């Protein structure tokens, strides 16, 4: 089943070459028609990118796009933060394609299923008493004399692959990110051939945590199995276990899930295989965290989503979706991680089915100077476009890094509010309908009430989220 | 297009007779198989009603169900409140079918399109300097010496048809309400043949109201046209106008939309026909307000939804859906109103497309003594079942009448919170998964995070709402 995206496949190199050839635009006639070119999807008002803008933006990259492959290794990931200070892991031109491996930060919940035998994952998760594959995990202190639970303090948890540097990108531009593919990473352990695995942690930061029956306090991890052969459209639970204090290889004990990648010693846990029997969770493979580097701070906790995207945690950010981000730093510095096999709106207990995925993306740069009069003009927040819908993302504090000042990264966790996120989503959708669709304010208010759906994206990421969905065919009758 | 449900059709009586014959279970073979009997839908775990309970509950009504027709007239509606003190407008047995006409309380926004020539609507909306068709509107004072803006004070706004008394229903029972049909009420004005109309008021109680651009304050009403011939699946705007002070026939002036049914004098308004051109709002005909009488107070404001249902304002409560309500008073006293042609999740600006509809319902009584061990045991909140999903409804204050005490009906408007409604929805869904599906608490937490979607039902009814959706086929693999 390897399509050139499974580095563990014995024939990876052959498959990878075939895959490259397949999408090499010089080799296939259909590409000459522009089907996968920068203008794709722009016709008929289906895209936020007007045909004219698409044509203009096509000039931001070479005539023939290139393909890049970014595996996930200790050298290509950063763990727990976005940072404008990072060196690019790959440099690409606008219009280029890039396949990016992403690793879940919950793979250490079952190393046997999610890490063992997987060279990339092993390099990232390496942790002995002398060495960590990735030392820093989080935006916190890296000074051993200061930090308490580990380098970076787990202030931010996601393993992010990247950043991808997009040549020519500057603050004020908009980066269009097309998700062309998104597939589960198969277990490299021969015992689990044809399967992928994910972990769901019902953790202390979950919405349920202070509201458990009988005032109990416990964290419970459920390991899910995801079919990697393409046969089954659902995930199913394998076993669950209660978190018990785990001592990491450096000797620090973690009574709760307070630091990412702590290897779980299952000789200490009690695994319960009688869990969610017969329950089929429909899979919705997507990237929980995808975005560009913010300008406001050198190291930014990966947990709270913001105007540059990041941990938006909308399950609709999967195959076929397009995201638009305002570029905040030179090169945009796109990173992707927090892969999910599935998630419900709200991500109630703190996590999704956290499952390594590999994505293929096309990145298209739209220069600020070209945005005037187009739907992307002055877009200062992450927008999602699917085949049939446009979505805006509201947050408790839209640009918390700017609004809350120097202590923003701790203060945001005290600002969590669906009510505030709803207000932000309402304002963003109103602006979208007025600027992009040319409605008056009164028209926008009415349409939002009768034809726009507001849902709860997540209530677990500090900066809580509400999304608003407007269906494209609402505008079908316009002439 | 009249199927025996359009009293304005010249051949109504013939059609009505044919309709009755069609559903008379003595006359059709397929009914002998029980397809529309009390057990319908219970097979295969598709319903919250187990086959055994369906069989038991079938004994609560006669072997042959009857059909009833409840038109909307000044005599069959109550306006703006639920009340356990009301005399039944129709008495039925468990299993009976009842077609109920409902009128939108916004028809006076355009009397020409939504009232004129419609005998039922005219009787309800009648208001001269000497007489109102329905004097009391709301749960407030009816003493002319006390009230300020009108009898009932507009504390509650919906025109409710009913109540329907279900013989044998007692507190502790559960009433199953199947919505078999739901169709727009055609305009009775020959000028508008084949069309229905609805009104959307962006009003002072809307979520947007204190957040308008340039700190403006205005209420805007948009009149929508809905196809009544069955040809078009969308509604479109006809015109909008800004609310200007209106003086009602009793001489009281209403500077804002503060009392329902005030006839709008369009010689005072400025109608703008250049509105939402080419915008097609997909129709989702449903009943905004449907529920049974609460026991806590004699007159209960129809605006805040509660444990007995009422103004839940979920657009999924339409044709094909089934609602379950805990019975709070003898006879259940079901009323229905607030018909909507369409609404988005959140009902942002205060109202939906408020459009008169006629519904056909089957009501089935499940006695408390029979509920033990079934999914309906101890169900103390309104639940929604569609063909593919189960939904619970969370509110800012689940049973506000009880929780907030004697001043509940005014205090609830100070308790509006999506955050609190989310917590209630979470708790209700957890309970549902644990009691109905037999999951452990930990299983429920995990499943809610990875396979249940939480959405914002409404943010305009005082007691704000969040719904949680679980898809039935998640349980498809259970044996």
The closest of A180, A195, A453 to A318, measured between CA atoms, is A180
CB B261 within 8 A of CB B105: yes
Query: From CA A308, how far away is CA A102, in angstroms rounded?
Result: 19
Which residues numbered 351-370 in B keep a CB inside 8 Å of some CB on A?
Answer: 351-353
Name every chain A residue with its beta carbon within 8 A of the beta carbon of B276: 439, 443, 446-447
B175 lies in which domain range?
Answer: 25-185+282-366
Token digits of residue B358: 């006629």
pLDDT at B442 over 60: yes
ipTM for the assembly: 0.91
Query: From CA B426, how far away is CA A207, in angstroms rounded?
Result: 9
Inside any domain, residue B434: no
pLDDT digits (tens, 9 = 90+) for B61-94: 999 999 999 999 999 999 999 999 999 999 999 9
Mean pLDDT for chain A?
92
Query: From CA B273, how far away is CA B419, in angstroms rounded?
Result: 39
Query: From CA A406, how far away is CA A412, in angstroms rounded?
Result: 11
Lowest mean pLDDT among B5-9, B14-18, B28-32, B187-191: B28-32
pLDDT digits (tens, 9 = 90+) for B377-430: 989 999 999 999 999 999 999 999 999 999 999 999 999 999 999 999 999 999
Q: Which residues does B10 contact at the CB level (< 8 Å), separation at least 6?
A: none
Question: Which residue in chain B has the smallest CA separation from A241?
Answer: B442
pLDDT digits (tens, 9 = 90+) for B190-203: 999 999 999 999 99
Count of domains for chain B: 1
Grade residue B179 by pLDDT with cuts at 50, 70 and 90. Answer: very high
**A215, A348, A414, A437: which to substitute to probe chain B, counting the most B Cβ within 10 Å?**
A348
Inside any domain, residue B432: no
Query: From CA A384, how far away is CA B454, in angstroms rounded?
Result: 19
Question: Which residue in chain B has the smallest CA separation from A348?
Answer: B449
The closest of A71, A102, A108, A67 to A89, measured between CA atoms, is A71
State what percent of residues in chain A have pLDDT above 70.
91
Residue reference for tokens 């916004």: B106
Mean pLDDT of B439-450: 98
Inside any domain, residue A384: no
CA angle, residues A288, A458, A355, in degrees to nearest 5: 30
Question: Which residue in chain B has the smallest CA separation from A474?
Answer: B280
Strand, coil or helix: A236: strand
Inside any domain, residue A446: no
| Residue A57 belongs to domain with CATH number | 2.60.120.580
- Whether A447 sits inside 8 A of B280 (CB atoms) is no
What DSSP element (H or E) covers B282?
Answer: strand B281-282
Lowest mean pLDDT among A1-15, A239-253, B44-58, B274-288: A1-15
Looking at residue A229, its pLDDT comes to 85
CB B311 within 8 A of CB B462: no
pLDDT at A433 over 50: yes
pLDDT digits (tens, 9 = 90+) for A73-103: 999 999 999 999 999 999 999 999 999 999 9
Helix A418-431 and helix A441-451: axis angle, to 10°?
120
Query: From CA B395, how far away is CA B136, in angstroms rounded?
Result: 27
- Whether A220 sits inside 8 A of B445 (CB atoms) is yes
Name every chain B residue with its beta carbon within 8 A of the beta carbon of A219: none
Query: From CA A398, how far away is CA A425, in angstroms rounded?
Result: 9
Any bridge partners for residue A363, and if so which?
A: A177
Inside any domain, residue A30: yes
pLDDT digits (tens, 9 = 90+) for B350-372: 999 999 999 999 999 999 999 99
Query: From CA B252, how far away is CA B232, in angstroms rounded?
Result: 40
Inside any domain, residue A96: yes
Looking at residue A478, its pLDDT comes to 84
> Which member of A346, A349, A474 has the closest CB to residue B281?
A474
pLDDT at A274 over 70: yes
Grade residue B477 by pLDDT with cuts at 50, 70 and 90. Answer: confident
State what percent of residues in chain B have pLDDT above 70.
91
The closest of B468, B176, B197 to B340, measured between CA atoms, is B197
Chain B within 8 Å of A436 (Cβ-Cβ)?
no
Inside any domain, residue A270: no
Burial of A459 (0-12, 13-18, 19+ CB in 10 A): buried
Which residues numbered 282-321 in A keep a CB inside 8 Å of some CB on B?
Answer: 282
- Whether B426 sits inside 8 A of A479 (CB atoms) is no
Strand, coil or helix: A401: helix
């Amino acid at each position: 089943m390897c399509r050139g995206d499974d580095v563990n496949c014995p024939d990876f190199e052959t498959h990878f070459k075939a895959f490259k050839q397949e999408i090499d635009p010089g080799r296939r006639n259909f590409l000459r028609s522009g089907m996968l070119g920068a203008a794709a999807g722009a016709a008929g008002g289906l895209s936020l990118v007007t045909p004219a803008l698409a044509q203009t933006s096509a000039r931001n990259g070479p005539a023939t796009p290139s393909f890049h492959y970014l595996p996930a290794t200790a050298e290509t990931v950063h763990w727990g933060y976005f940072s404008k200070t990072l060196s690019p892991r790959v440099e690409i031109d606008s219009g280029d394609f890039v396949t990016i491996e992403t690793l879940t930060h919950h793979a250490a919940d079952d190393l046997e299923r999610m890490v063992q035998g997987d060279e990339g994952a092993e390099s990232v998760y390496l942790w002995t008493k002398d060495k960590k594959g990735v030392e820093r995990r989080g935006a916190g202190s890296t000074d051993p004399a200061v930090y308490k639970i580990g380098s970076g303090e787990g202030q931010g948890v996601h393993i992010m692959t990247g950043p991808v540097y997009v040549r020519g990108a500057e603050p004020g531009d908009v980066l269009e990110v097309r998700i062309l593919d998104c597939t589960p990473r198969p277990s490299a352990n021969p015992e689990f051939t044809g399967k992928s695995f994910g972990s769901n942690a019902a953790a202390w930061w979950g919405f349920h945590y202070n509201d458990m029956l009988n005032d109990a306090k416990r964290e419970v991890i459920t390991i899910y199995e995801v079919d990697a052969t393409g046969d089954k459209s659902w995930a199913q639970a394998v076993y669950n276990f209660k978190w018990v204090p785990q001592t990491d290889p450096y000797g620090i004990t973690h009574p709760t899930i307070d630091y990412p990648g702590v290897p779980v010693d299952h000789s200490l846990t009690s695994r319960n295989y009688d869990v969610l029997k017969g329950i089929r969770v429909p899979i919705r493979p997507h990237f929980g965290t995808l975005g560009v580097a913010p300008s406001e701070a050198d190291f930014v906790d990966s947990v709270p989503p913001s105007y540059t995207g990041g941990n938006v945690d909308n399950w609709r950010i999967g195959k076929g979706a397009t995201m638009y981000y305002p570029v905040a730093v030179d090169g945009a510095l796109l990173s992707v991680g927090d892969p999910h096999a599935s998630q419900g709106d709200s991500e109630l207990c703190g996590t999704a089915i956290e499952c390594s995925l590999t994505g293929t993306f096309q990145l298209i740069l739209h220069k600020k100077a070209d945005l005037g009069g187009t739907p992307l003009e002055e877009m200062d927040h992450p927008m999602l476009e699917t085949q049939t819908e446009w979505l805006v993302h509201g947050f408790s504090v839209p640009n918390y890094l700017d609004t809350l000042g120097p202590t923003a990264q701790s203060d945001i966790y005290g600002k969590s509010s669906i009510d505030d996120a709803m207000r932000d989503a309402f304002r963003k959708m109103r602006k979208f309908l007025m600027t992009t669709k040319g409605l008056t304010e009164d028209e926008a208010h009415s349409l939002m009430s009768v034809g726009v759906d507001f849902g709860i994206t997540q209530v677990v990421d500090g900066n809580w989220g509400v999304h608003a969905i407007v269906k494209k065919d609402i505008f079908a009758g316009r002439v």
